[in-house]
Amino acid sequence: MTAVLYHFSEEPAITSFAPRVPPTNPSQAPAVWAIDAEHAPLYWFPRDCPRVAAWARAATEAADLRRAFTTTATRVHAIECGWLSRVRTTTLYRYSFDATPFAPWPEASGQWISTTTVEPVDVTPVGDLLEAHAEAEIELRTVPHLWPLHDFVQRGPWDFSIVRMANARPRPRP
């Protein structure tokens, strides 16, 4: 089991996290959401920033991902160009939790939930979000529209994450 889990927020002084129903998934039972270290880079963005990510889970997927994205990276994140200034200027905090009260959430890779209120063990600023991506060797792309990548990543053999698409620019017309 993972020893430490994380939550990311633009708020620096949260003292406890109570279970709640996510506004984007009202059918979900109340929970506190956390992410494991491997998947934490999916949250190195301003909260409302729409993004698409793809990453390899195995060597065969890494080769496919590298070919498909014409990259040497094993992980690719993309945001819309209009969000770049906010990514550059947002101060993001990483809250650490003891993983004991959490259970894996099977609907998404790396996500964990707790049905009880939890208190953070530690909170630290993430720092420069672009630098965090660079240090982790994650290719961060800025694109005019996320919708082509939104559609593309779902067809590949790799794992993927699609977040906050309601905040993305409208889907371009053909």
Q: Is the pTM of this model over 0.85?
A: yes
Residue 155 has a pLDDT of: 96
DSSP H/E element including 163? strand 159-163
Task: Give the bridge partners for 53, in sequence order.
Answer: 77, 161
Contact 165, 145 (CB under 8 A): no
174 located within any domain: no
23 located within any domain: yes
173 located within any domain: no
pLDDT at 173 over 90: no
Query: What range defines the domain where residue 74 resides?
Result: 4-167
Q: Which amino acid is at 129?
A: L
pLDDT in tens, 124-161: 999 999 999 999 999 999 999 999 999 999 999 999 99
The closest alpha carbon to 45, from 167, 172, 157, 171, belongs to 167
Contact 20, 92 (CB under 8 A): no
Cα angle: 131, vertex 159, 81; to 5 degrees: 45
From the number of C-beta atoms within 10 Å of its C-beta (0-12, 13-18, 19+), residue 47 rates as: middle
pLDDT above 90 as % of the chain: 91
Other beta carbons within 10 angstroms of residue 124's beta carbon come to: 10
Overall number of domains in the chain: 1
